[in-house]
A and B are shown apart, each in its own frame.
Chain A
Amino acid sequence: MRTITYRDALREAIAEEMRRNDRVYIMGEDIAGYGGTYAVTKGLFEEFGEKRVKDTPLAEEIIIGTAIGSAIGGLRPIAELMTMNFSLLASDLIINSAAKFRYMFGGQPSIPMVIRMPGGGGAQRGAQHSQMLESMFAHIPGLKLVMPATPYDAKGMLKSAIRDEDPILFVEHELLYSVKGEVPDEGEEYTVPLNRGIVRREGKDVTLVTFSRMMHICLQAAEELAKEGIEAEVIDLRSIRPIDLDLVLESLRKTNRVVVAEEGWKYYGTGQGIAALIYEHGFDWLDAPIGHVTGKDVPMPYSKSLEQLALPARNDVIAAVKAIVPQPAGAR
C-alpha cells in the first residue's frame, strides 16, 4: 500500500464518488478554483467543472439549506463548511430540517447529505475557531456523526458517507490533514462502515476509548505506558453516532478499566456520554472509576503556549491511566 495524507485521501474519496455517481456534487466557500481553505478540493473544479464543484457566497445557513433542498430533489450534496465552528450558523437547518425530515414526513423525503468540516484546536486559530462541537450534533436523533483519525478511514468513511441515505456530519481535524497513512492504491475500491470502531492497539490492562486526532495522542501514550509495563488497548471509535458500544464493552471485559480521552470539553460532552453508556451497560466489569481526559474547561486560548496547556496531551492520558491501573509488579 502507498502512503498518502489525510487531505489527499479525502480528495480521492470525493473524486471517486463523483465519478461513480453523477448526482454527487460539492459546494462550499472557496472550494472551487481556490481548492479549499485546507486544499482538500484542489483539482476537483478542473475535473468536474463549476456545476459540480460550486463556490458559494459566505453563508453557512443557506449552504446547508441548499444541500437539503437539492437532496430533496434527488441530488447527493457534499457541503464543505470551512470549519466546524461555522456549523453553529447552520445548526437550525441541520437539527430541525436535515435530522428530522425522514421521520416527520413518512420517510419521504430522505436527505442523503454529507457535511464535511474540520473541528478542533492546536493551530492557534483562537477561541472561536478551535472548537470541537461534535457532541452538540451527536446528541440529535436522525444525525450520524463520524470522526475518522487516519487517511485510510478518512477515505473509506467519506465514500460510505456519500453513499448513505441519511444526513452525515463528517468531522475532520485541521491537524490531521497532513498526517500520512497507508491507503490502498487509487482505483482499488474499499469503504469503511459508519458504525464500527476499531482496535488500534491491543492491551490487557486498560482500554483507552478515543477518536479523531486524540487517537494518535493515545497511541503515543500507550507506547510510553508499555515501557512501564502497562499494556493499554486503544479503541478508535471512528463513529461517534452511532457508537460501537459493543466493541468498547468487549474490551472492557478484558481490561476492566477504561479511560475516555477526547480533545473537547468535559461537561455534558461526548466523553461523558460514552462513560455513562459504559456505566449503564458494563458496570459489573469495571474495577475502577472511568478516567476522563479532556481539554481544559476554558475557551481555547490564542497564545501558543496557553493553547498547548489547554489541549489534552500524552502526559494527561498517561496520568489518567496510572490513576486507575495498579502499578505493575516490579515497577517503582
Chain B
Amino acid sequence: MAKALHTHPQAREGDDNSIGSLVDAHGLLTPEAERDAAVSDDQLRELYRMMVICRRLDQEGLNLQRQGELGLWGPYVGHEAAQVGAALAMESTDWIFPYYRDFAMAVCRGIDPGNILTIFRGLTHGAWNPYEYRFAPFIIPVGTQVPHAVGFAVGCKFDHEQTAVLVGFGEGATSTGDWHEAMNFAGVFQAPVVFLCENNQWAISVPVEEQIAGRIVDRAAGYGFPGVRVDGTDVLTVYAVVRAAAQHARQGHGPVLVESVAYRLQAHTTSDDPTRYRTDADLDPWKGSDKDPIERCAERLRQRNAYDDTFAVAVAQEAEERASAMRQTLVAARPPHPESVFDLVFANPPASLMRERDEFTSSLEQGGAE
C-alpha cells in the first residue's frame, strides 16, 4: 500500500497555473494576458454584436412567453458574456455540450433562433442536427450533459482528433454526482474538455452559499487539472480564457475548469417568481453598467476607439430584425404529425411497437383520436 502511494504520480496539470495566471485577483484578464491574447478590434466588435443580438432575443423570448406563444422561457440576461465569449472562443471544429440556458451559445453556433424556440413552444425536444453545428442538444436534467461531454472528449482522444469540447452548466449542477464523476474521469483520462460553470449564484431559489461550501474553481485542483475563476460579466476575459483553455485541451494537456461568475438577473424560468426568495436589494450590486456585459464591452471598445454611434445603431437595428425574424419563424412552426409519436424510438423498431402504431393509425383514420 505504501509503495502504491509513493509511486502514484502527483497531480499533473493541477499544478499548472498557465491558465489561472491569465487573470488577476478580480478575475479580469491581466494587461499582459490581454496583450498576448491579441484580440482584434473586429473580434471584440463581433463579441459585442452577438451579445446585443442575444440580449434582444432573450427579451423577445420573454415577451413571446408572456404573450402565450411559448410554454416556457429561461432568461439568460446577465449570461451574455459567458455564453457569447465561450462559444466564439471555440473553433468550428470543436464541440459544445450546452445546458438548457445556453441559448446564446446556440445562436453563436449559427442555429436559427426561431427554430430553437420551437423547443420552448413545446413542439420538439431538439430543433437542430447536432452534427451539423457541432452543438449537442439542450439538456434539461441538471448536469447530465457533463458526463456526455467527457465521454465525447474521451472519444476524441481515441481518434487523436484535435478537438476540444466545451460543456456549459450552472453552479447548481456542481453539486450533482454526475459532475464530480465526470470531473474525475476527465482528469484521469486527460480528456480535452473545457468545463464552463456559469455561476449565476442562484439555482432556482437556492443561493450559491447554500449550494456549495468553498469555491467551485478550487475543485479542479482536487481532480488534478487547472481551474480559473473569471469575471463573467467581461466578455473579453471569458473569450480569452476559454480560448486558452480550449487550446490547452486540444494540445493534449487535459481539461480546464472555468468558473464564470455573474448574476441571474431574471427568474430561473418564467415558471418561477423570484420575488418570493430575493429582494431588489440583492440585485442592486449587479444592475449597474459596471456589471453589464454589453456596457462593459462597449467601454472596452471606446477605449480602443473602436465604438461609435453608427456601429451601435447598426447592431441594435440588426438585433431588432433578428428578433422579428425569430418571432416569425416561431409562429409559423407547425405541430408535429400525430403518427410521428412512434418515430425514432429505435433504429429498427420492434414488431410490438409497429403494431401499436398501426392500431393508432387506423384509429386516426376512423377519427378516433379527434
A residues touching B (Cβ–Cβ < 8 Å)?
25, 51, 56-57, 59, 61-62, 64-75, 92-93, 96-97, 101-110, 141-142, 144, 164-166, 195, 241-243, 245-246
Contacts and interface: CB of A to CB of B under 8 A. Distances in A.
A195 B149 CA distance: 32
B151 A72 contact: yes
20 contacts: A51-B158, A57-B185, A59-B181, A59-B184, A62-B185, A64-B147, A65-B150, A65-B185, A66-B185, A68-B148, A69-B148, A72-B136, A73-B151, A75-B155, A103-B125, A104-B137, A106-B124, A107-B343, A165-B348, A242-B351
B137 A105 contact: yes
B184 A141 contact: no
B347 interface: yes
B303 interface: no
B178 interface: yes
Contacts of B347: 102, 110, 164-166
B107 interface: no
A104 B126 contact: yes
Contact of B188 (A57, A142, A242): A57
Given A62-B147, A195-B350, 18 more contacts: A25-B158, A57-B185, A59-B185, A61-B177, A62-B184, A62-B185, A65-B181, A68-B147, A69-B152, A74-B155, A92-B178, A103-B343, A104-B126, A105-B130, A106-B344, A109-B131, A164-B347, A246-B351
Contacts of B9: none
Contact of A62 (B178, B343, B345, B348): B178
A73 B144 contact: no
A267 B363 CA distance: 33
Nearest to A73: B155
Contacts of A67: 151
Contacts of A109: 130-131
B97 to A, nearest CB: 8
Contact of B182 (A56, A65, A165): A65
B129 interface: yes
B246 interface: no
B141 A103 contact: no
B203 to A, nearest CB: 18
Interface in B150-173: 150-156, 158-159
B150 A66 contact: yes
A142 B350 CA distance: 10
A253 to B, nearest CB: 18
A96 B151 contact: no
A107 B148 CA distance: 17
B277 interface: no
B129 A61 contact: no
Interface of B: 124-126, 129-131, 136-137, 141, 144, 146-156, 158-159, 177-178, 181-182, 184-185, 188, 343-348, 350-353
A166 B353 CA distance: 15
A107 B130 contact: no
B142 to A, nearest CB: 11
B352 A61 contact: no
B151 A69 contact: yes
Q: Which of A96, A105, A165, A166 is packed against the most chain B CB atoms within 10 Å?
A: A105
A93 B148 CA distance: 9
A97 B182 CA distance: 15
Nearest to B183: A62
A69 B155 contact: yes
B289 to A, nearest CB: 40
Contacts of A69: 147-155
Contacts of B177: 61
A108 B129 contact: yes
* Residue picked from A25, A61, A74, A165, most chain B C-beta under 10 Å: A61
A59 B181 CA distance: 7
Contacts of B147: 61-62, 64-66, 68-69, 93
B188 A65 contact: no
A301 to B, nearest CB: 30
Contacts of B124: 106
A242 B353 CA distance: 9
A166 B158 contact: no
Contact of A102 (B141, B155, B181, B344): B344
Going nearest first, the 4 A-B pairs with the smallest beta carbon separation are: A69-B151, A65-B147, A242-B350, A105-B126
Given A69-B155, A104-B125, A96 B350 contact: no
A93 B125 contact: no
B141 to A, nearest CB: 6
Given A97-B144, A242-B350, A103 B155 contact: no
A66 B150 CA distance: 6
A2 B310 CA distance: 82
Nearest to A23: B158
A102 B345 contact: yes
Given A70-B155, A93-B144, A103 B352 contact: no
Nearest to A67: B151
Contacts of A70: 151-152, 154-155, 158
A62 B150 contact: yes
A108 B124 CA distance: 13
